[in-house]
Amino acid sequence: MTHAESLVANLKKHQLVVAVRTETTEAAYHAAMACAEGGMKFIEITFSVPGADEVIRKLSKDGRVTVGAGTVLSVDDAKKAIAAGASYIVSPNFDEDVVKFTKKEGLVSVPGACTPTEIYQAHKAGGDIIKLFPFVEIGGLAFLKAIRGPLPFVKYLLCGGATLDTVSSYLAADAAGVLIGAAIIKRELVVASDWKSIAGLARGFVEKVEGFSQTKVCLHL
């Protein structure tokens, strides 16, 4: 199993990715560490964060988490992310140059797409997982069900709309993973530097996954 295959399999097991988007480098690092304390295994630092590569470099030394870069819009950003130690590259859009560069470097590529044509093109270019974005606005779980008809071989990351109340239905869709943002990295908590509450929210999502996994095991017994 290649490094990329192993990472994709591990994401499938843990299901959750948290996207950290804050206004300062320091806040991003503290928020990410809070998510790690809460049990999150996959943390994405978006390149809209000032000094995102600096945060990735520090986080990549933490053995508890697999760190990726988000909102990667160019090959230059991908180069910075990879040099900093990112293991996967996430974009809101499909840019063939970014996908091909990421794959050439041996990392996991997660381009964004929202139409059947974009999804297939992103997959064909080498995208390991296709980020359905903006997930709710393009139809949510109903869209996922529809698109899987003609494109069942694509691995999907569901991006948008998952809360503690709705995440169980996302998990039941059996996608490659679910990306959580503001439901954990709440702006008011970041402003207040309330990292303990962010850790608690992260833990709540992790417990939902654990509970769902146990239910699945019981159903198969």
> 164, 183 in Cβ contact below 8 A?
yes
Q: Which two tokens stand for residue 174?
A: 């059996």
Query: Is residue 202 predicted with pLDDT exceeding 70?
Result: yes
**What is the rounded average pLDDT of the residues 186-213?**
97
* 132/176 Cα distance (integer angstroms): 11
* 47/91 Cα distance (integer angstroms): 10
For residue 137, what pLDDT is reported?
98
For residue 214, what pLDDT is reported?
82
Over pLDDT 90: what percentage of the chain? Answer: 94
Q: Which two tokens stand for residue 103?
A: 């794959």
List helix spans (H) across 24-152: 25-37, 52-59, 75-84, 96-104, 116-124, 140-148
Over pLDDT 70: what percentage of the chain? Answer: 97
- Banded pLDDT at 218 (limits 50, 70, 90): low
- Banded pLDDT at 117 (limits 50, 70, 90): very high
Q: Output the CA–CA distances (angstroms, integers) from residue 33 to 12, 71, 84, in the order listed.
A: 22, 20, 17
For residue 213, what pLDDT is reported?
87
Query: Is residue 200 predicted with pLDDT exceeding 80?
Result: yes
Query: Is residue 220 predicted with pLDDT exceeding 70?
Result: no
* 118/120 Cα distance (integer angstroms): 6
Q: Which two tokens stand for residue 1?
A: 């199993």
For residue 217, what pLDDT is reported?
52
Among 149, 101, 152, 148, residue whose Cα is nearest residue 127: 101
- How long a stretch of residues is the chain? 221
Q: Tens digit of pLDDT for each residue in 47-100?
A: 999 999 999 999 999 999 999 999 999 999 999 999 999 999 999 999 999 999
Q: Tens digit of pLDDT for each residue in 2-20?
A: 989 999 999 999 999 999 9
Give the chain's mean pLDDT: 96
Q: 3-state DSSP call for residue 110? A: strand
- Banded pLDDT at 219 (limits 50, 70, 90): low
Q: Tens digit of pLDDT for each residue in 17-42?
A: 999 999 999 999 999 999 999 999 99
For residue 85, what pLDDT is reported?
98
Among 40, 62, 44, 42, residue whose Cα is nearest residue 52: 44
Residue found by looking up tokens 């994401």 in the block: 11
